Structure 1
């Protein structure tokens, strides 16, 4: 298996599982896939975080906000692996409850990854809400 194939398999399995768990209220699987090394950052659709402490607070807060994930699909549009760095660009289609209210939404998401001790870890996320064209 090539580096790209191995990375894509991880994105479509472990990373997808972590996002489903987060949107059902469990942030632990997502946190486990994020680097414990600095720098880490999130420029999120709802909140931002810079550094480990802020990242922990963000993921804990998101876990409290989300529940009842009925679907999560990552529509991968581009990705690459160069050495121990990788990125993904795509659309996240989610149906879950946010603060107890059922919602469906789409986020544009770009993530950057670093291979640490042979495992992929997320180091940066940028996401924003896709709004329908007027």
Structure 2
């Protein structure tokens, strides 16, 4: 397997599972996949965060907002691995309850990853809602 193959397997398993857990109200798996090394940043559909503390606070906000995820599809559009850095560009199709109200939406999500101690970690995410 190539580095890219290994990375894409991780994206399709661990990263996907963490996103499903978040949308079911558990940010723990997502937190575990994010870097503990600065810089980290997240530009979200609802809020932005820079730095480890702000990112953690945003994850808490999200896990308190999300529940009952009935569908999460990660449609990978592009990905690459160069040394210890990687990125993905994807559409995330989600059906979930937000603050108790059912919603379906699609996010455009670009993420940047850094290999730390042999494991992939997310260091940046930019997600915004696709509008018709």
With normalisation by structure 2, the TM-score equals 0.99
Q: Tell me the equivalent position of 1:112.
A: 112
Q: Secondary structure at the match of 2:112?
A: strand
* Pair 1:128 & 2:89 matched: no
Q: Could you tell me which runs of 5 or more consecutive residues in structure 2 were left unpaired when the two chains were aligned.
A: none
TM, length-normalised to structure 1: 0.98
Residues matched between the structures, number: 132
Structure 1 alignment gaps of length 5 or more: none
Partner of 2:83: 83
Shift of 1:95: 0.4
Coordinate RMSD, CA, aligned: 0.3
Helix, strand or coil at the partner of 1:61: helix
User: How many Å apart are 1:90 and its aligned residue?
Assistant: 0.8
Deviant stretches of 4+, over 2 Å: none
Q: Deviations over 1:20-49 (max 9, x none)?
A: 000000000000000000000001111100
